[in-house]
A and B are shown apart, each in its own frame.
Chain A
Amino acid sequence: MKPLELVCPAGTPAALRSAVQAGAHTVYCGFADETNARNFPGLNFSREDMHQAVAFAHQHGSKVLVAINTFPRAGDEDIWHRAIADAESAGVDAVILADVGLLAWAAARHPGLRLHLSVQAAAANPDVINFYASEFGVRRVVLPRVLSVAEIAAINREIDVETEVFVFGGLCVMAEGRCSMSSYATGKSPNMQGVCSPASHVQYVQDGADMISKLGAFTIDKAGKDEPAPYPTLCKGCFSARGEVSRVFEEPTSLNAAQLIPQLAKVGVTALKIEGRQRSRAYVAAVVRNFRAAVEATAAGRPIPADTLTHLSEGQSSTLGAYKKTWR
């Protein structure tokens, strides 16, 4: 059995080289602008970086995917169109798109370019996946993080294109590409600017013995003395509802579905995606090495090495997210 394809994050050219050397079958990255959903300061690739990265990856037998997965701003569509053209001329193996207009553009103007559907399109059932395949020639779909393993199995039975699923890293609890909580609080959103709960709008303020974390005008977390102050990511924050303070949406946890790799392989998933383009090269290399060992073990019919990844998760805790039906 062929191991599942590992699709690994690269926020910088250095991280890309680390991921490739650690055993990534494929890396994904973005240009240093608002065309991708990890538009963070100091991250991402210039045009020249991209050419070099593709050459390096291809020399080592790895593929490169470029995420152009924000929704183009009306009137400035050219910026996104140029990103697609430049990705193609850099020789990338596929682009990852979410916007219908951009998919139509790429299908018409770049017929030789392989298209993947971003998780930002939140394509959550076979009907709509088949629609993207027949209308735009999409070859692979990154499934939204709202589906159980049984639902993924059912989807794979009804579609012809490949599926890619998240197995590790940060966890959106909302259907991706359908969330404007961040812009409600900060004016910046994943869909438009490629950011969520941006650092530019975060403040840590001492409040007596507590350190409070604010996003925009709203206090959404706090830490006592000697506790690390949590980053105020909106859907992991603390809120008050019905007079009770709790993490209404999700705990500060991250996804780790390593133990589900054999099941995901069995239900016909093609590729496993690791989140974390904002992470350090050392982190990326460690995660990639562990997951490469896990997919090789599964392919050889051996058990997954237990708990090897737990210590890499945010806040030391991890979840199976929506893969487990009771998460809902």
Chain B
Amino acid sequence: MKLTLGPLMFHWPAEQWQQFYADIADNAPVDRVVIGELVCSKRLPFYEALIPEMIERLQAAGKEVVLASLALPTLVRERKILAGLGEVGLPVEVNDLTMLTHLNEGQPFTLGPLVNTYNRGTLEWLAARGATSVCLPPELPLSSVTVLAETAAAWGIDCEIWGYGRLPLAMSGRCYHARLARRSKDGCLFVCEEDPDGLSVDALDGKKFMAVNGVQTLSDSWANLVGDVAALKAAGVTALRLSPHTGDMSKVAQIFRDAADGTLLPDQAISELQQINPERRFSNGFLFGEVGAGWSHSGA
């Protein structure tokens, strides 16, 4: 089971960004790192200049590096960013099919979780076009994952699923962080920086429900499939995605590594992840439950 560190979805200060990826390079047992901006093109200038050096450092540490691309490109500036990614010469993670139009002939690419790869026809079409790996949409149930993992195997590409971290639930043209601060998106003053794991949006009964991150809406719960590795392997899943959050992400990766290798029992792995951040709630309901927010670590 490979481990992929997904792109950071939040707006962190450049220094924190740098420390985070340096720690990943030095300490996290992940095979692949997707790096760059997924959510909001306005954030990119804050850390763009740091990316090339960090790529070298991650590569020197033996990680495969994939460039993240924007989830909802609409502006001319955003299309230029995508065109630029096509020129770097590294594999690019596609999170909107716009990116496909900016890849050079034969350039390898991966499919991110925000591409709607729901079925065989779509996966086969994209694999034929050169996709080397697919991270499936998080809302898919295990029955769909099983079928798509088989298709991926037939094409010789990795089948990855969202293994850890708040789940991406929606993208909008509207910035909710700005709206909550009574600002416009253009005049947001980067208020999203105040919430390094997203801003909680609770139900009226006080239940923890969702979180906003600029134009993105996330689950409140942290997806956590560390206790489901056996079921995922049986389904043909070949990679797990860990999504960056505050706290010791290298430790999170190590727990997943040990659980995937069978040196850490599922219950123990869950308990260790809980200990890192006791206040975080977990879910695995999209794969195993009636609703996405559900949590059962038996996999039954």
- With the chains together, A173 CA to B291 CA distance in Å? 22
User: In the bound complex, do residue B124 and residue A101 qualify as a contact, i.e. CB atoms below 8 Å apart?
Assistant: yes
The main secondary structure of chain B at its interface with chain A is: mixed
Contact of B139 among A189, A219, A246, A322 (CB under 8 A): A189
Residues of A with C-beta under 8 A to B202: 239-241
B163 at the interface (CB under 8 A from A): no
User: In the bound complex, do residue B116 and residue A177 qualify as a contact, i.e. CB atoms below 8 Å apart?
Assistant: yes
B172 at the interface (CB under 8 A from A): yes
User: In the bound complex, do residue A187 and residue B291 qualify as a contact, i.e. CB atoms below 8 Å apart?
Assistant: yes
Contact of B175 among A71, A174, A328 (CB under 8 A): A328
- With the chains together, A57 CA to B223 CA distance in Å? 49
Q: How far is the CB of B237 from chain A (nearest CB, A)?
A: 14
A73 at the interface (CB under 8 A from B): yes
User: In the bound complex, do residue B123 and residue A328 qualify as a contact, i.e. CB atoms below 8 Å apart?
Assistant: no
Chain A contacts with B in 198-251, Cβ cutoff 8 A: 212, 216-222, 235, 238-242, 244-246, 248-250
Residues of A with C-beta under 8 A to B140: 74
The interface bits of chain B over 51-83 (1 if a CB of A lies within 8 angstroms of the residue's CB, else 0) are 000000000000000000001111110110010
Contact of A178 among B102, B114, B151 (CB under 8 A): B114
Q: How far is the CB of B42 from chain A (nearest CB, A)?
A: 12
A122 at the interface (CB under 8 A from B): yes
Contact of A185 among B75, B121, B293 (CB under 8 A): B293
Among A145, A147, A154, A242, chain B packs the most CB atoms within 10 A around the CB of A242
Stretch at the interface among B24-32, B93-101, B224-232, B274-282: B93-101
Q: How far is the CB of A115 from chain B (nearest CB, A)?
A: 15
- With the chains together, A274 CA to B49 CA distance in Å? 46
Among B147, B199, B202, B212, chain A packs the most CB atoms within 10 A around the CB of B202
Q: How far is the CB of B189 from chain A (nearest CB, A)?
A: 14
**Given A130-B101, A328-B173 in contact, is the A99-B116 Cβ separation under 8 Å?**
yes
User: In the bound complex, do residue A178 and residue B122 qualify as a contact, i.e. CB atoms below 8 Å apart?
Assistant: no
- With the chains together, A324 CA to B169 CA distance in Å? 25
A283 at the interface (CB under 8 A from B): no
Residues of A with C-beta under 8 A to B205: 212, 218-219
**Given A175-B72, A178-B170 in contact, is the A245-B204 Cβ separation under 8 Å?**
yes
Residues of A with C-beta under 8 A to B293: 184-185, 216-217
B interface size (C-beta, 8 A): 71
Q: How far is the CB of A307 from chain B (nearest CB, A)?
A: 25
Stretch at the interface among B1-9, B180-188, B242-250, B258-266: B180-188
Contact of B125 among A71, A98, A104, A239 (CB under 8 A): A104
B201 at the interface (CB under 8 A from A): yes
Residues of A with C-beta under 8 A to B147: 74-75
A181 at the interface (CB under 8 A from B): yes
- With the chains together, A220 CA to B82 CA distance in Å? 38
- With the chains together, A242 CA to B176 CA distance in Å? 12
Q: How far is the CB of B299 from chain A (nearest CB, A)?
A: 17
- With the chains together, A242 CA to B177 CA distance in Å? 11
Residues of A with C-beta under 8 A to B219: 184
Residue ID in chain B nearest A249 by CB atoms: B176
- With the chains together, A175 CA to B70 CA distance in Å? 14
User: In the bound complex, do residue B74 and residue A146 qualify as a contact, i.e. CB atoms below 8 Å apart?
Assistant: yes
- With the chains together, A327 CA to B206 CA distance in Å? 28
A49 at the interface (CB under 8 A from B): no
Residues of B with C-beta under 8 A to A185: 209, 291-293
- With the chains together, A123 CA to B178 CA distance in Å? 24
**Given A127-B79, A181-B217, A220-B203 in contact, is the A74-B120 Cβ separation under 8 Å?**
yes
B19 at the interface (CB under 8 A from A): no
- With the chains together, A241 CA to B123 CA distance in Å? 38
User: In the bound complex, do residue A128 and residue B96 qualify as a contact, i.e. CB atoms below 8 Å apart?
Assistant: yes
**Given A131-B97, A185-B291 in contact, is the A221-B74 Cβ separation under 8 Å?**
no
User: In the bound complex, do residue B173 and residue A147 qualify as a contact, i.e. CB atoms below 8 Å apart?
Assistant: yes
Contact of A174 among B74, B126, B170 (CB under 8 A): B170
Contact of A239 among B100, B169, B173, B204 (CB under 8 A): B204
Binding site for B on A (CB under 8 A): 71-75, 77, 98-102, 104-105, 122-125, 127-128, 130-131, 144-147, 151, 154, 173-175, 177-181, 183-187, 189, 191-192, 212, 216-222, 235, 238-242, 244-246, 248-250, 322, 325-328
In order of increasing CB-CB distance, the 8 nearest A-B pairs are: A101-B121, A146-B173, A184-B292, A101-B122, A71-B118, A74-B147, A328-B185, A219-B205
12 A-B contact pairs sorted by A residue (CB < 8 Å): A72-B119, A74-B151, A75-B119, A75-B143, A99-B116, A99-B119, A100-B126, A180-B138, A181-B170, A181-B217, A240-B206, A241-B212
